[in-house]
Chains A and B, each alone.
Chain A
Amino acid sequence: MPAPIRLRELIRTIRTARTQAEEREMIQKECAAIRSSFREEDNTYRCRNVAKLLYMHMLGYPAHFGQLECLKLIASQKFTDKRIGYLGAMLLLDERQDVHLLMTNCIKNDLNHSTQYVQGLALCTLGCMGSSEMCRDLAGEVEKLLKTSNSYLRKKAALCAVHVIRKVPELMEMFLPATKNLLNEKNHGVLHTSVVLLTEMCERSPDMLAHFRKVRQLSSSQLVPQLVRILKNLIMSGYSPEHDVSGISDPFLQVRILRLLRILGRNDDDSSEAMNDILAQVATNTETSKNVGNAILYETVLTIMDIKSESGLRVLAINILGRFLLNNDKNIRYVALTSLLKTVQTDHNAVQRHRSTIVDCLKDLDVSIKRRAMELSFALVNGNNVRGMMKELLYFLDSCEPEFKADCASGIFLAAEKYAPSKRWHIDTIMRVLTTAGSYVRDDAVPNLIQLITNSVEMHAYTVQRLYKAILGDYSQQPLVQVASWCIGEYGDLLVSGQCEEEEPIQVTEDEVLDILESILISNMSASVTRGYALTAIMKLSTRFTCTVNRIKKVVSIYGSSIDVELQQRAVEYNALFKKYDHMRPALLERMPVMEKVTTNGPAEIVQTNGETETAVLETKPPPSGLQPANQANDLLDLLGGSDITPVIPTAPTSKPASAGGELLDLLGDLNLTGSPVSAPAPQIAQPPFLLDGLTSQPLFNDIAAGIPSITAYNKNGLKIDFTFERSNTNPSVTVITIQASNSTELDMTDFVFQAAVPKTFQLQLLSPSSSVIPAFNSGTITQVIKVLNPQKQQLRMRIKLTYNHKGSAMQDLAEVNNFPPQSWQ
Chain B
Amino acid sequence: IHFILLFSRQGKLRLQKWYTTLPDKEKKKIIREIVQIILSRNQKTSSFVDWKDLKLVYKRYASLYFCCAIEDQDNELLTLEVVHRYVELLDRYFGNVCELDIIFNFEKAYFILDEFIIGGEIQETSKKTAVKAIEESDMLQETVEEYMNKPAF
Contacts and interface: CB of A to CB of B under 8 A. Distances in A.
A335 B76 contact: yes
Contacts of A242: 126-129
A38 interface: no
A117 B76 contact: no
A366 B123 contact: no
A80 B141 contact: yes
B17 to A, nearest CB: 8
B136 interface: yes
Contacts of B45: 330, 365-368
A189 B129 contact: yes
B91 interface: no
A366 B128 contact: no
B34 to A, nearest CB: 15
A252 B44 contact: no
B149 to A, nearest CB: 10
Given A83-B111, A252-B125, A129 B21 contact: yes
Contact of A159 (B18, B119, B137): B119
B95 interface: no
Nearest to B19: A128
A189 B124 contact: yes
A242 B46 CA distance: 30
Contact of A6 (B44, B125, B147): B147
Interface residues of A, number: 71
A60 interface: yes
Interface string B118-144: 110111111111000100110011110
Given A123-B118, A331-B76, A365-B45, A87 B153 contact: no
B145 A80 contact: yes
B107 A127 contact: no
A192 B106 CA distance: 27
Interface string A72-109: 00000011100110010010001110000000000000
A51 interface: yes
A603 to B, nearest CB: 33
Interface string B1-34: 0000000000001111011011100001000000
B110 interface: yes
Given A11-B104, A367-B45, A79 B125 contact: no
A189 B147 contact: no
Nearest to A193: B123
B133 A115 contact: no
Contacts of B48: 331, 334, 368
B16 A58 contact: yes
A58 B146 contact: no
B81 A252 contact: yes
A58 B106 contact: yes
B96 interface: no
A159 B118 contact: yes
B62 interface: no
Interface string A279-308: 000000000000110110011001000000
Contact of A299 (B44, B75, B133, B146): B75
A163 interface: yes
Interface residues of B, number: 56
Contacts of B127: 242
Interface of A is mostly: helix
Given A58-B16, A334-B48, A117 B121 contact: no
B118 A128 contact: yes
Given A124-B114, A252-B125, A335-B77, A7 B147 contact: yes
Contacts of A83: 107, 111, 137, 141
A703 B22 CA distance: 55
A156 interface: yes
Contact of A331 (B77, B107, B140): B77
Contact of A368 (B46, B122, B136): B46
A243 interface: yes
Given A80-B142, A295-B80, A192 B75 contact: no
B118 A51 contact: no
Interface in B73-104: 75-78, 80-82, 85, 103-104
Interface in A227-271: 242-243, 245, 250-253, 255, 259
A757 B141 CA distance: 102
Contacts of A59: 13
B63 to A, nearest CB: 15
Given A54-B107, A193-B121, A252-B122, A334 B140 contact: no
Contacts of B81: 245, 251-252, 291-292, 295
A162 interface: yes
B50 A368 contact: yes
A299 B143 CA distance: 47
Given A48-B145, A368-B50, A84 B107 contact: yes
B140 A115 contact: yes
Given A51-B147, A295-B78, A8 B104 contact: yes
A152 B136 CA distance: 13
Nearest to A9: B147
A332 interface: yes
A15 B23 CA distance: 28
A159 B22 CA distance: 21
Contacts of B44: 330, 365-366
A55 interface: yes
Contact of A250 (B19, B106, B125, B153): B125
A79 B140 contact: yes
Interface in B26-70: 28, 44-50
Closest CB pairs A-B (n = 5): A295-B77, A7-B147, A330-B46, A159-B118, A163-B119
Given A48-B147, A127-B118, A159-B119, 19 more contacts: A8-B147, A54-B106, A54-B107, A58-B14, A60-B13, A115-B140, A155-B123, A159-B118, A160-B119, A192-B123, A242-B126, A298-B75, A302-B75, A330-B45, A332-B77, A334-B46, A335-B77, A365-B44, A366-B45
25 contacts: A8-B152, A12-B153, A15-B103, A48-B145, A51-B147, A58-B106, A79-B140, A83-B107, A83-B111, A84-B107, A95-B21, A129-B21, A162-B119, A189-B124, A192-B122, A192-B124, A193-B121, A245-B81, A291-B81, A331-B46, A332-B77, A365-B44, A368-B46, A368-B48, A368-B49
